[in-house]
Structure 1
Amino acid sequence: MREIVFDTETTGLSFSGGDRLVEIGCVELVNRVMTGRTFHAYLNPERPMPVEAFRIHGLSDVFLSDKPLFHERVEDLLDFIGDSPMVAHNANFDFGFINGELGRCGRPIVSLDRMVDTLVIARTRHPGAKHTLDALCSRYGIDLSARTLHGALLDAQLLAQVYVELTGGRQITMGLAVDAPVLRETPQEARTHVHVRPARHFAASDAELERHGNFLKAMEEPLWGTVSSG
């Protein structure tokens, strides 16, 4: 199964309030394994960068001034994501900005039926714990040394590793299980999968049992034939 894990950086918290997308990073997973295929773009928001947002991601007006507008990269983005489920942390936020930008340039929005929210999954798996990306990376032993500021592609790569751990761990990619997908929550929440290992039969044949019996008969004074008098 193909899935897209993604993250965005923006000028603020509200697209409807005038904030815009400035960076998007997407990572392709196939059967919960990163394939190495990514999509990444910096985008000119056509508005000044608030200092609060700059402190989070470090993307300045000067840096973004020569970057393409969203509508100039939208075809590349849509080609990459295709019709795959899309995984994000606090996904309503990221979907809000992507769909806001798509609507702004007259393109169909991404259906919320495709949304998988790792924040919802984390709250279910680890109630009462911290659920930030940093906290989840620390919980699962994922290296955070490269994350000095928020960056959409790096955060998507980290989230992809967290997502694998939240939904069964690395063992699900080892070919030891047969997938039996079960929708555990609503389409707007997380999709998880139950992996059922098929029964294996190792019963010995009649010929093998006969050879084993003959082997035991030929042994002199076996330990299991000793009777304790204690």
Structure 2
Amino acid sequence: MNVVVFDLETTGLSPERDAIVEIGALRVRGGQVVASERFESLVRPLNAAGEVLRIPWHAQRVHGISDEMVRGAPDLGRVLPDFLDFVGDSAVVAHNIGFDGGFMRAAARRHGLVWSPPAEYCTVQLSRQAFPRERTHNLDVLAQRLGLSFAPGARHRSLGDVQVTAEAFVRLTERLRAGV
């Protein structure tokens, strides 16, 4: 299986009102995370009029990305085509695909592009299938359940979350195939 596992950091929760400030992705081929095939970029957030958006304090508190960090970053109009090229015709995976996929669909539409991967997989849903008796399936709990850990300072940064999500995807799919 060839998939791209991705994660976004944003200024808020609304794909229509908020903006992407970071994209991270890794490729998984044949059940192995390919660390050398990665995509990572900070994104300068702009509104529909092309004005720079400030990153709200509540978002900064979650991901640690500040206005200063994105000041020299490319805007989404430059980053998104490169990311879509990286994804190509691969299926995609995210932890809570509804959130990340919703942002990607809205961003692509705003930039005259199309986000239409052949399949979308959600590690939250896979976790629910693999651990049906468990009530909590957030990424921290899932990582702990699968014996995975985040690199220091990497939690809630796109590539840090992607590394754990990609390993979780591999382990969850193996577990589900084995019927464990």
TM-score (structure 2 length as normaliser): 0.88
What is the 5 A alignment of 1:189-200?
Answer: 194=177
Does the 8 Å CA contact 1:24/1:41 hold for their aligned counterparts? Answer: yes
Of 72-81 and 22-31, more deviation after overlay is shown by: 72-81
What is the 5 A alignment of 1:78-227?
Answer: 78-111=84-117, 113-127=118-132, 128-147=134-153, 149-168=155-174, 194=177
Partner residue, 2:40: 40
Of 124-133 and 46-55, more deviation after overlay is shown by: 124-133
Identity %: 35
Check 1:147–1:62 CA distance in 2 against 1; reply closer, same or farther (3 A cut): closer
Report the number of matched residues.
Answer: 170
Does the 8 Å CA contact 2:11/2:18 hold for their aligned counterparts? Answer: yes
SS of equivalent to 1:153: helix
The 2-side partners of 1:166 and 1:52 are apart by 32
Deviation at 1:143, TM superposition (A): 2.2
Partner residue, 1:26: 25
The 2-side partners of 1:76 and 1:87 are apart by 18
List per-residue Cα deviations over 1:167-204 (Å, max 9, x = no partner).
Answer: 115xxxxxxxxxxxxxxxxxxxxxx6x47xxxxxxxxx
Q: Counterpart of 1:90 in structure 2: which amino acid?
A: N
Deviation at 1:160, TM superposition (A): 0.6
Deviation at 1:61, TM superposition (A): 1.1
Where structure 2 has 5 or more consecutive residues not aligned to the other structure, the ranges are 47-52
Is 2:61 the counterpart of 1:61?
A: no
Does the 8 Å CA contact 1:2/1:29 hold for their aligned counterparts? Answer: yes
The 2-side partners of 1:103 and 1:144 are apart by 33
RMSD, matched Cα = 1.6
Partner residue, 2:49: none
Task: Work out which of the two has the higher radius of gyration on C-alpha atoms and give 1 or 2.
Answer: 1
SS of equivalent to 1:8: strand
Q: Counterpart of 1:59 in structure 2: which amino acid?
A: I
SS of equivalent to 2:26: strand
TM-score (structure 1 length as normaliser): 0.70
Is 2:73 the counterpart of 1:74?
A: no
Where structure 1 has 5 or more consecutive residues not aligned to the other structure, the ranges are 170-191, 196-230
